[in-house]
Structure formats: C-alpha cells, structure tokens
C-alpha cells in the first residue's frame, strides 16, 4: 500500500521498523507456540482496579493477542512512518510514549464512566499497542494534505488517505470493546498534539535516552536508502498509476530544481524562487503561453518572507537555519514540501 506522503520503505524510520518487527514477532509466537503465557498479556482493567495488578497496564498494552489486530496495527504503523521522518525519531517516540500513557488513563476513566452510566462492566479490553496507533490519526488528519486520486461513479472521491481510514475502520470493528481503546487513543492524540496542560513537555523522551537508543538500537533497525524507482501498488487502476507516475516526476523535477538553486546560491550569493521560475509538470500542462516580462519581474522580486515558526520547526528536526530558510523560500512557505526536499537531499 503506497501513499503520496513519503517514499517507500522504512528509510530514516528505525523506531517504526522496530515497532513493526518486535511486537508482531512476539504476537505470532504467543499465538502459535506459547499460548499458556497469553494470560500475562491480557488487558484486564478489573484486575488492575481490584487486585492492583498494575503491571497489566504495561504488559497488556504492548503485544496484541489477536493476530487480526496485529496485522492491521502493523500496516497503520508502516503508513504512519512519515511522522518519524518528518519530526525525527525522538519527537516521534515522545508522541508515542505520551499518547500511550494518556490513553491508559482515559481507558480507566471511560470504563468507569461506562459502568456507572449503563451498569455494564468492560473487564477485558483489546491488548496491544493500539492506543498510540489510534492517536496517530490526529496528526494524520491535521497535517497530511488530502489529494484526490480518482472517483467512483463520478461522485465518491478516493484520496491518498482513504485506504488508511478504511484500515482504521477495520481495526475499530475487530472487537467488542475496542471503541474504548480507540476513543482513548484519539483523545490522547488530541491532547498531545494541542499541548493540553503542556503534556508534550512532561511526557517526552530525554535527550540522553534518545542518544543511548541511537547508539545501541538504531544500527540494528536502520534501513538503507531506497532507490529513485517507485513501485506501483498491486491492483492499482490506470488512473492511480498515472497519478503516481506524475507525482514521481513532479518530485524529481522539483528536487533537481532545488539542487540547481542551491548551486546558484553558492556561486551568486542569492536565492531564486524556483517554484515560480520552474513550474511543475501540471502547471506546464495547464498554463497558457508564459509572459516574458512577468517572468523577469518574478525573478527579480525580493526574497519571500519566511515564518520564523516554520524555520524553528525545521531546525528542531536537525536541519541548519540556512537550509531551512532556503527550502521554505523555494517552496513558498510550504512546510511539508520543504521537509520532503530536505529529507531527500
């Protein structure tokens, strides 16, 4: 399953790769070979409340006991790897940790409220790393642009995000009480994304711990850089294939223009807005004959004003201020495009 939010593979996403391999492997082993140990990974809130088995809040929320949940959550984590590339492994891990802790708190609150309101006890909730997976739908909805791919019957639009939502709906309908985990994860994701009570400053990965994991675990789960070729999703229609090829050509063209601008800047000491000087393939296909005088005026125009907030966000990802300014000016202050260019260059 391929989306337009990033290149294929797990390049620059070691944490996502570890979340794909380790919990999935343990889940398969528990289901096939070690069934007698599954009782230690049951997410039983009544045991937590009545018998003070606090350890179930950890063991019951890491490994899925249902292989269908394992499969769906793994596919979602693979598609959400774009956030690790965009924000860096430390911020991505902080988001997962914060939403994991907050969703456990909201699980307890929702179960108690459900029992108090309807006198129905939800003792066992679905096990696994599901809270943070549902929490990732919040930044996915807010920050990933919606691009129409095709239409069904001329009325229903299929976008680059449709399959992800369908997969989330499939996970949501896989169990009886999974709506509790999903609701808790979404609330936790909104709280962490909107910095409610500054939880992002409290529930975060310390720098020393991030460096420790970077030295020890990142070499194990790191992936090689993918090639420039892109595969077309199996079963894709002709329109989807044409759209993906066009997007690939656009990205390659814009990347080459960005490199060209950087070289000109080194030699001439100034920046050209390549997004105006070099139109993309779709703009070339739909645009009328260019006006030479207007092009000359655009080239001679002063540099575009750049938002300091966006510069700070790029610098937090590890890019220098010079590269951040250059990428934002070249992309007309489009943070997503600037980030993709800096990651690929």
Render pLDDT for 155-179 as a digit per residue (tens, 0 to 9): 778 888 999 999 999 999 988 899 9
Vertex 243, ends 259 and 136: CA angle to 5°?
80
Which sequence spans correspond to the domains of the chain? 14-223, 307-344
Mean pLDDT of all residues in 266-274:
49
Helix ranges, 33-80 (H): 45-50, 56-59, 67-79
pLDDT for 326 beyond 80: yes
- Please tell me the least confidently modeled range out of 41-45, 215-219, 295-299, 317-321: 295-299
Mean pLDDT of all residues belonging to the chain: 79
Burial group, residue 317, by CB count within 10 angstroms (0-12, 13-18, 19+): middle
Q: What are phi and psi of 158, to 5 degrees?
A: -110, 120
Render pLDDT for 203-246 as a digit per residue (tens, 0 to 9): 999 999 999 998 998 889 988 766 554 444 444 454 555 555 55
Mean pLDDT of all residues in 141-164:
84
Strand pairing class (124-125; 156-159):
unpaired
Contacts 24+ apart (CB under 8 A), 158-162: 160/3, 160/4, 160/5, 161/3
- Alpha-carbon distance of 101 to 207, in angstroms, equals 19
Render pLDDT for 181-195 as a digit per residue (tens, 0 to 9): 999 999 999 999 998
Between 294 and 23, whose confidence is greater? 23
CATH architecture for residues 307-344: Orthogonal Bundle (1.10)
Q: What share of the chain is helix, strand, coil (3-state, %, to 5)?
A: 65, 5, 30
- Residues of the chain with pLDDT > 70, as a percent, come to 73
- Alpha-carbon distance of 18 to 279, in angstroms, equals 40
Q: What is the DSSP letter of 175?
A: S
Q: Which residues pair with 125 in a beta bridge?
A: 43
pLDDT at 301: 46
pLDDT at 268: 53
344 close to 7: Cβ distance less than 8 angstroms: yes
**Full-model pTM:** 0.66
Between 248 and 293, whose confidence is greater? 248
Helix (H) or strand (E) holding 109: helix 89-118
CATH 3.60.15.10 fits 14-223, yes or no: no
- Alpha-carbon distance of 35 to 91, in angstroms, equals 35
- Alpha-carbon distance of 201 to 223, in angstroms, equals 30
In the chain the first and final C-alpha atoms are separated, in Å, by 24
140 close to 80: Cβ distance less than 8 angstroms: yes
- Alpha-carbon distance of 10 to 79, in angstroms, equals 10
Q: Do domains 14-223 and 307-344 have the same CATH topology?
A: no
Q: In sequence order, what are the residues at sequence separation of 6 or more whose Cβ sits closer than 8 angstroms to the Cβ of residue 310?
A: 324, 328, 333, 335, 338
Q: What are phi and psi of 45, to 5 degrees?
A: -75, -25
- Alpha-carbon distance of 308 to 303, in angstroms, equals 14
Token pair 């992002």: residue: 200
Mean pLDDT of all residues in 119-138:
92
């Amino acid at each position: 399953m391929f989306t337009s939010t990033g290149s294929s593979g797990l390049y620059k996403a070691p944490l996502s790769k570890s979340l794909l391999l380790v919990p999935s492997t343990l889940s398969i082993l528990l289901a096939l070979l070690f069934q007698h140990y599954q009782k230690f990974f049951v997410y039983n809130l009544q045991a937590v409340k009545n018998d003070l088995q606090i350890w179930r809040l950890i063991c019951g929320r890491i490994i899925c006991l249902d292989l269908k949940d394992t499969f769906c959550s793994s596919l979602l984590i693979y598609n959400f790897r774009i956030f690790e590339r965009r924000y860096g492994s430390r911020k991505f891990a902080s988001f997962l940790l914060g939403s994991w802790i907050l969703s456990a708190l909201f699980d307890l609150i929702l179960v108690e409220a459900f029992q108090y309101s309807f006198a129905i006890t939800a003792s066992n909730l679905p096990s696994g790393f599901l809270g943070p997976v549902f929490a990732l739908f919040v930044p996915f909805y807010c920050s990933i642009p919606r691009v129409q791919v095709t239409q069904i019957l001329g009325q229903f639009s299929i976008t680059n995000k449709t399959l992800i939502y369908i997969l989330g709906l499939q996970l949501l309908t896989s169990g009886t009480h999974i709506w509790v985990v999903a609701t808790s994860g979404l609330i936790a994701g909104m709280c962490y994304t909107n910095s409610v009570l500054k939880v992002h400053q409290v529930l975060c990965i310390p720098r020393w711990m991030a460096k420790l994991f970077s030295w020890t675990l990142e070499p194990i789960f790191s992936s090689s850089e993918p090639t420039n070729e892109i595969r077309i999703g199996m079963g894709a229609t002709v329109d989807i294939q044409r759209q993906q090829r066009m997007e690939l050509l656009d990205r390659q063209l814009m990347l080459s223009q960005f490199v060209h601008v950087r070289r000109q800047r080194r030699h001439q000491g100034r920046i050209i807005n390549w997004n105006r000087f070099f139109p993309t393939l779709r703009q070339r296909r739909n645009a009328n004959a260019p006006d030479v005088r207007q092009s000359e005026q655009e080239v001679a125009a002063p540099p575009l004003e750049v938002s300091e907030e966006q510069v700070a966000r790029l610098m937090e990802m590890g890019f220098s201020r010079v590269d951040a300014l250059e990428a934002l000016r070249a992309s007309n202050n489009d943070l997503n495009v600037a980030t993709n260019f800096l990651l690929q260059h």
